[in-house]
Amino acid sequence: MQRSKHIAIGSALVAFFFLMLGGIAASAYLPGFAGELGRMCLALVTSPFLMETAIFFLALTLLFAINGWRRNREGDDWVALDDHGVPKKRD
């Protein structure tokens, strides 16, 4: 059950990413300013150096967002130690 949930979440994230790329590519064909903005974004996303940089920052942002969501859900992961250095439960 847990494994299929993880696979579904990962697949949804990958599908969302490619749908966003498809939306950027489709917006390049719009008329007027929206099309020019779409072509500029498409050029920015597909140029070799900028694409790698943009994907890096997108992945880093996604990593921080997922980690923040997980920490809010599970609580902080600080460990309290007693006088002898043995971990104890926090109240």
Position 24: which residue type? I
Of 30-34, 49-53, 60-64, the range with the lowest mean pLDDT is 49-53
What mean pLDDT is predicted for residues 8-16? 89
Is pLDDT at 49 greater than 60 in this prediction?
yes
Distance, in Å, from the CA atom of 60 to the CA atom of 88, rounded to the nearest integer, reads 33
Average pLDDT for the chain: 84
Is pLDDT at 64 greater than 90 in this prediction?
yes
Distance, in Å, from the CA atom of 63 to the CA atom of 59, rounded to the nearest integer, reads 6
What mean pLDDT is predicted for residues 6-28? 88
3 state DSSP class of 8: helix
Q: Where are the domains of the chain?
A: 1-46, 49-91
pLDDT in tens, 19-46: 988 888 899 899 999 999 989 888 887 8
Is pLDDT at 52 greater than 70 in this prediction?
yes
**pLDDT of amino acid 91:** 57
